[in-house]
Amino acid sequence: MPDPAADFKIKENQDICRPVLDARDITVTYRTEKGPLHTVRNVNLQIGSGEIYGLVGESGSGKSTLARALVRYLPANGILSSGSVHLGDTDLLALTKAEMRKVWGARVTMVHQDPNAAINPAIPIGEQIAEVARIHLHMNKNDAKDKAMEMLNKVRMPDPESVARRYAHQLSGGMLQRVLIAIAMTTNPELLIMDEPTTALDVTTEAVILDLIGELMFEYNTAILYITHNLGVVARVCNRVGVLYAGEIMEEGCISRVFKNKLHPYTRGLLGCVPRVDANKKDISLKAIPGYIPRPDQLPHGCIFAPRCELVEPACEEKRPSLIEIESGHLTACRRHEELKKIGDVVADTRESHEEEAEYGELVLDARNIKKYFPVSAGLSSIFGGKGSEVKAVDDMSVRMRRSFTMGIVGESGCGKTTFARCIMGLEQATSGEIELEGELLPYSVAKRSWETLRKMQMVFQNPDASLNPQHPAGESVGRPLILLRDMSRKQVQERVKELFQAVNLPEDFINRLPHELSGGEKQRVAIARAFAADPILMVCDEPISSLDVSVQASLMNLLVDLQESQGTSYLFISHDLAAVRHLSDWIAVVYLGRLWEIGSAEDVFVPPCHPYTEALLSAIPIPDPDIRQDSIRLKGSVPSAMNIPSGCRFHTRCPRKIGPICENEEPPWQDAENYHQICCHIPLAELRSLQGEGLIKKPQSAGGDSK
Amino acid sequence: MTSYLIRRIGFILITLVLASIIIFSVTQFLPGDVAGIILGQFATETAIANLREELGLNQPLHIQYLSWAGGFIQGDWGNSLTSRMPIRPIVMERLGNSAMLAGMALLIYVPLGIILGVIAALKRDKLPDQLISGVSMAFVGLPEFVSGLLLITFLAIGLEWFPANSSISPDSTFREAFPYLVLPAITVSLTGLGYIARMTRSGTIDVLRTDYVRAADLKGLPAWQVLIKHVLRNSLLPTVTVVAMGIGWLLGGLIVTEAVYGYPGLGRLIVFSIQRQDLPMIQACSMIVVAVYSISNLIADILYGLLNPRIRVGE
């Protein structure tokens, strides 16, 4: 099968004679109480037909504002204070609001970030596509219905007829995103703006949607503005990329040049933050970008990136450099780009292991055969003898963890990762199984555990906004476990809180701040400090970094590694971000539908991946390097409901390597590989290995490379 | 949807049974003895004893309750203690009058409240919103005897557009009653309007902020279509509940308004029978009010379900 991604990338170098979108000198200003804020400044943007232009940057860089300005859909207090926007021959700024409505949905369409929120919950799916056809294509009711069906087929929607009649709450996130794409493509628009279209999706679903976008663009020749914070996604689907920082473009060019030469320190910074699937904490430490994006009213005088730049020199701070073209189509706003070329490709620091491969430490946690079934209420019918069924959220999972050791748990959302962690913590009462902490058998419920046990186990939650009391100053949140669990005096507590803030790299005066005065990353640091305050031996981290920007993610991951090294704490690290898990974990457990399918050292599990599910997860990760070719193993559909678990091997309904009826009828056996690496699959280990060759990720030395 | 409906109806039946028990027992605790009330203060002990026997008042309470409730279901609501007339025709007549007033008021304040609420939401924090929110809140706070008297002063006595007194004969048809209904209906609407407008405003503001409304805008749908099809369908859900709760209030709770205009509605009948200690009448009226509340809530639930596919079609 030809690789569509390869085909459409051929277009990368084609000349764009006449851009579909031609936006020049765009400046967006928000009127605020503190005066005007110029959120986007002097941005030029040209996108040709059939081109996918990636716009990347941290949150707050002005990506979405720029996109909304281009289609003249700014909030009431935002204005396009300078610049011009042309769509083909049309000057968009000259149109009235009513004329703009004829452009929206017809010539420019948009796909939003959260598909669950972007589809009207009260209107059937089919109608939401058909209404576009009626308005813009002037179709009658029946033709519009047919068109809706055609579009659902175009986006490879399984069972389109029934989907058209259904409502948003009956579809999965991936299916809803297909619907949004179908709506956007109905009128065959000239420009499609996608604002983080896959950010809310699982990595496996993301991969499928990205493939779909690539295929459709090949077919439709639409110009696409693709907004994302994920450089891996850019590398996978885009032809050209613009790096936006604090409202200005820092670097722009075609994918291969930008990713290879990286002629701006910010681009380098962003790439250095991303953990790699082929290395972990022992090999490299991530390079976080220090500091934060400046507010538009507090921009530095010279280069706006200077305060965070490693290569800064006095001249940088004097005059703001303009965006200049280095070679055809490759622009940078760094005045030291020549030197950057020489510095070459050093992105991540290699790391010296402080200790030689230590032998396994003593056993900290031994959780055996944990099960958690949630009863499903049958409502009133239970009075009439109806029987509630059960959701088997966790169905027989076991892990063992040793001292100063990180166990990563990966799997798609809804596979039971979080429930498992909550059972260990006692926040959910396990249905059955045994949880042993340092040899002591623990009660299921946190309420029945001793203070000492509580001290030993701490948790960092995904959303720091919800896990910190908004009324308590940060220092008080951190101090509470010291008082409650460690019996410290007021004075000792003060001292220790200061130390903890230092340990998580927060300035001392943050102690008195309330959570809303802190950024997301800072809040998560406070949450980590609070967890460490108890001096735990085991810390459960449930997606602690997923809601944060890449640069913040990197600094938090480094922090976790450093703290582990100094404190000897063990982490149970849960994430759907496989690269992050790979970076942090010594040992990885792969979970699907409440069960483990593979467990072993990070190296053994990922390089090469053996279990078909691990393989699919890995091949889905978008890697921020356009030269890397990945196998495209895609999973069909979404995780089945835990109320209705498939027979035999639970993965057989989606397994790309299903071998036959045995998968449907028999539970697969555990197979032991060397190094305590275990795999649960019907396919013999040797065969699984041979399917992989030298591993998933290959750097093709010459163009082409073998496809599979 | 079916199981949802069955559940709702089940709840209503339970509500009615519980309410009937409460109503029955409360009337037992009221001061005075039924037989004594009927016969007046000069009755002899024997006469009272005989009447008690006759009325079944010597039987155990649960037997009394069952025979009362059974009779009620079968349509035998007993006779009024004051007028000795059968209760049912009286109550039904008054209920009909109250329904006319309620219908009239609903026709005025529900559409008006929705329109004002939507305008306020669309012009959020601007002058129209501040006017609508401020004025409608003022009316909610204004007691009906004040607004009623003001309306009578200006519209009835001053301009002579409508009659000042609405004491229609109990068996009037809607056509005959119409001119008498306008002022009380406006009075009631002034109170109801504020609630509807507020609810609609906040519901609409919430929905206007959603991604799907942004998406609908950017689909290029005409603005009115975005509003009606994408916004209102979702934003009126909470308003539906408020309207339904209003029906119960309109039918049984308009004591002040009915008194101001002398309108023969259910509210005044209740007050009247309480003053006369007319126990069977109190019981019947209370049961009717409870039934009206329950049924209007059921209607709200059904409407809610019809508008909200998450309830209509399960997961």
Q: Do B230 and A120 touch (CB under 8 A)?
A: yes
What is the total count of domains within chain B? 2
Instruction: Give the end of a domain, one of B44, B73, B102.
Output: B73
Query: Would you say B190 and B147 are in contact if contact means Cβ atoms under 8 Å apart?
Result: yes
Q: Which amino acid is at A123?
A: I
Same-domain status, B121 and B255: yes
- Percent of chain A at pLDDT exceeding 90: 35
Would the CB atoms of B220 and A136 count as touching at under 8 Å?
yes
- Mean residue pLDDT of chain A comes to 85
Residue A380 has pLDDT above 60, yes or no: no
Q: Residue A204: name the closest of A183, A174, A176, A239 by CA.
A: A174
Q: Do B222 and A119 touch (CB under 8 A)?
A: no
pLDDT of residue A327: 83
* pLDDT > 90? residue B63: no
Indicate whether A704 pLDDT > 70. no
Residue pLDDT, tens place only, A69-85: 999 999 888 899 999 99
Of the three residues B21, B47, B73, the one that is the final residue of a domain is: B73
My answer on whether B143 and B188 are in the same domain is yes
Domain assignment of residue B131, yes or no: yes
Is B286 contained in some domain?
yes
Average pLDDT, chain B: 84
What is the pLDDT confidence band of residue A706, given thresholds at 50, 70 and 90? very low
Provide the 3-class DSSP secondary structure of residue A569.
coil
CA distances from A591 to A119, A373, A414, A674, B85 (A): 30, 16, 10, 20, 76
* Contact assignment for B233 to A169 by CB distance below 8 Å: no
For chain B, which residues lie within 8 Å of any Cβ of chain A, measuring from their own Cβ? 3, 6-7, 10, 210-212, 214-223, 225, 229-230, 233-234, 307-310, 313, 315
Residues B140 and B268 in one domain: yes
Coil, strand, or helix at residue A677?
coil
In the listed set B73, B107, B131, which residue is the last one of a domain according to the structure? B73
Residues B195 and B259 in one domain: yes
Q: Could B212 and A117 be called an inter-chain contact, meaning their C-beta atoms sit closer than 8 Å?
A: yes
* d(C-alpha B197, C-alpha B116), whole Å: 6
Q: Inter-chain contact B214–A73, Cβ cutoff 8 Å?
A: yes
Sign of the CA dihedral with A544 first, then A628, A334, and A38 last: negative
Whether B79 is covered by a domain: the verdict is: no
Cβ of B313 within 8 Å of Cβ of A167? The answer is yes
Taking the CA of residue B206 and the nearest CA in chain A, the distance in Å comes to: 13
pLDDT of residue B30: 67
Q: Cβ separation of A180 and B310 shorter than 8 Å? A: no
* Partner-chain contact B215 A112, CB within 8 Å: yes
**What span, in angstroms and rounded, lies between the C-alpha atoms of B57 and B35?**
9
Residues B117 and B43 occupy one common structural domain = no
Domain co-membership, B121 together with B258: yes
Residue A688: both structure tokens together: 């699984």
* Predicted ipTM of the assembly: 0.79
Instruction: Please tell me the distance from the alpha carbon of residue B87 to that of residue B98, in angstroms, as a whole number.
Output: 16
Tokens of A652: 């057989």
What DSSP state is assigned to residue A629? B
Is B16 in the same domain as B109?
no
- End-to-end alpha carbon distance in chain A: 10
The mean-pLDDT minimum among A112-121, A316-325, B58-67 falls in B58-67
- Mark yes or no for CB contact A104/B217 under 8 Å: yes
Considering CB atoms only, which of B7, B221, B307 is closest to A380? B7
B195 lies in the same domain as B295: yes
Task: State both tokens at A336.
Answer: 């030291």
Highest mean pLDDT (candidates A96-110, A334-348, A492-506, B238-252): A96-110
| Cα distances (Å, whole numbers) of residue A406 to A129, A421, A585, B39, B160 | 47, 14, 5, 89, 86
Q: Is B138 part of any domain? A: yes
Number of C-beta neighbours around residue A425 at 10 A: 20
Contacts of residue A323, Cβ cutoff 8 Å, sequence gap at least 6: A44, A248, A249, A250, A252, A331, A332, A333
Residues in chain A within 8 Å Cβ distance of B211: 112-114, 117-118
Pairing of strands A406-410, A587-592: parallel
Residues B98 and B220 in one domain: yes
Residue B262: burial class (beta carbons within 10 Å; 0-12, 13-18, 19+): middle
**How confident is the model at residue A283, as a pLDDT?**
74
> Do A122 and B304 meet the contact criterion of CB atoms below 8 Å apart?
no
Residue B179: how many other CB atoms lie within 10 Å: 13
Is A7 a residue whose pLDDT tops 50? no
Q: Do A380 and B307 touch (CB under 8 A)?
A: no
Q: What is the pLDDT of residue A185?
A: 93
Determine which of B219, B303, B311 to mutate to test the interface with A (most A C-beta atoms within 10 Å).
B219
Neighbours of A352 (CB within 10 A): 8
**HEC-encoded secondary structure of A221-249:** CCEEEEEECCHHHHHHHCCEEEEEECCEE
Q: What does DSSP say about strands A538-542 and A570-574: parallel, antiparallel, or unpaired?
A: parallel
Which position has the token pair 């209906």?
Answer: B185
Q: What is the pLDDT of residues A278-311, one digit of tens each?
A: 777 777 778 888 877 888 888 888 899 988 888 8
Rounded CA separation A268/A250 (Å): 11
pTM across the whole model: 0.83
Burial B211-227 (b: 16+ CB within 10 A, else e): bbbbbbbbbbbeeeebb
- Among the ranges A334-343, A380-389, B265-274, which has the highest mean pLDDT value? B265-274
Residue A109: pLDDT above 90?
yes
Q: How far apart are CA A480 and CA A291, in angstroms?
A: 29
Residue A440 pairs in a beta bridge with: A437
Considering only CA atoms, which of B103, B246, B111 is closest in space to residue B178? B103
The band of A421, judged by pLDDT with boundaries at 50, 70 and 90, is: very high
Inform me whether the pLDDT recorded for A318 exceeds 70.
yes
- Model pLDDT for residues A535-592, shown as the tens digit of each residue: 899 999 998 888 778 888 888 888 888 888 888 899 999 988 888 898 899 999 999 9
AA letter at A233: V
Mutate to test the interface with B, among A101, A102, A196 (most CBs of B within 10 A): A101
For A627, left (φ over 0), alpha (ψ -120 to 50), or beta?
alpha
Closest approach of A201 to chain B, Cα-based (Å): 17
CA distance A673 to A589: 15
- At A502-548, the pLDDT tens digits run 888 888 888 998 888 888 888 888 999 999 898 899 999 998 888 77
**A388 falls in which pLDDT band (50, 70, 90)?**
low
Point out the least confidently predicted range of A130-144, A407-421, B109-123, B294-308.
Answer: B294-308
Helix%, strand%, coil% for chain A, nearest 5: 35, 20, 40
Question: What is the predicted pLDDT for the residue at A10?
Answer: 41
Does a structural domain hold residue B80? Answer: no
Chain B partners within 8 Å of A73 (Cβ): 214, 217-218
Do both B281 and B157 map to the same domain? yes
The whole-angstrom separation of Cα A123 and Cα B228 is 12
Average pLDDT over residues A396-404: 90
Is-contact A408 A587, C-beta < 8 A?
A: yes
d(CA A145, CA A131): 9
What is the spatial distance between Cα A347 and Cα A286, in angstroms, rounded to a whole number? 9
A145, A126 Cβ separation under 8 angstroms: yes
CA distance A535 to A64: 42
The answer to the question of residue B247 being in a domain is yes
CB contact under 8 A, B309 and A169: yes
Q: How many CB atoms lie within 10 A of CB A231?
A: 25
Nearest CA in chain B to A128: B216
CA closest to A111 among chain B residues: B215
Selecting from B3, B219, B223 the residue whose C-beta is nearest the C-beta of A381 gives B3
Amino acid at A430: A
Q: What is the DSSP string of B182-232?
A: HHHHHHHHHHHHHHHHHHHHHHHHHHHTSHHHHHHHHTT--HHHIIIIIII
- A592-619: pLDDT as tens digits: 998 999 999 888 888 888 899 998 888 8
pLDDT at B216: 93
Residue B315, in any domain of the structure: no
Q: How far is CA A120 from the centre of its chain?
A: 25
Mutate to test the interface with A, among B209, B218, B221, B229 (most CBs of A within 10 A): B218
A258-280 pLDDT per residue, tens: 988 888 999 988 888 888 777 77
Question: Which pair of structure tokens corresponds to residue A524?
Answer: 């998560």
Which residue of chain B has the CA closest to A378?
B3
Preceding peptide of A608 cis, ω within 30°? yes
Mean pLDDT of A397-426: 90
Place of tokens 């069906």: A149
Asked whether residue B123 falls in the same domain as residue B240, the answer is yes
Amino acid at A6: A
| One domain for residues B16 and B144 | no
Using a CB-CB cut-off of 8 Å, the residues of chain B touching A135 are 219-222
For the beta carbon of residue A566, count every other beta carbon within 10 angstroms.
10
Which of B217, B220, B230 lies closest to A135 in CB terms? B220
Question: Are A121 and B309 a contacting pair at CB < 8 A?
Answer: yes
Domain of residue B15, residue span: 2-73
DSSP letter for each residue of A420-469: HHHHHHTSS--SEEEEEETTEEPPSSGGGS-HHHHHHEEEE-S-HHHHS-
Please give the residue of chain B at the shortest CA–CA distance from A102: B220
Maximum alpha-carbon separation in chain A: 81
Asked if pLDDT for residue B191 goes beyond 90, the answer is: no
What amino acid is encoded at A235 in this protein? A
DSSP-derived secondary structure letter, A698: B
Round to whole Å and give the CA distance between A437 and A400: 10
B314 located within any domain: no
Which of A108, A124, A169 shows the shortest C-beta gap to B310?
A: A169
CB atoms within 10 A of CB B150: 13
- pLDDT of A17 reads 58
State the CATH number of the domain containing residue B165: 1.10.3720.10
Summarised one tens digit per residue, pLDDT across range B290-308 is 888 888 888 888 888 888 8
Q: Which two tokens stand for residue A8?
A: 């459409």
Question: Element (H or E) spanning A400, and its range?
Answer: strand A390-402
Nearest CB to A167; choose among B3, B233, B309:
B309
Question: Which chain A residues are Cβ-neighbours of B313 within 8 angstroms?
Answer: 166-167, 170
A67 three-state secondary structure: helix
Three-state DSSP string of A337-355: HHHHHHHCCCCCEECCCCC
Cα B262 from chain centroid?
18
CB neighbour burial string for B235-247, b if at least 16 within 10 angstroms, e if fewer: bbbbbbebbbebb
| Cα gap A167→A126, rounded to integer Å | 9
Per-residue confidence at A341, pLDDT binned at 50, 70, 90?
A: confident
Nearest CA of chain B to the CA of A124: how many Å?
9
Shortest distance, CA B198 to any CA of chain A (angstroms): 22
Residues of B in contact with A183 (CB under 8 A): 215, 219
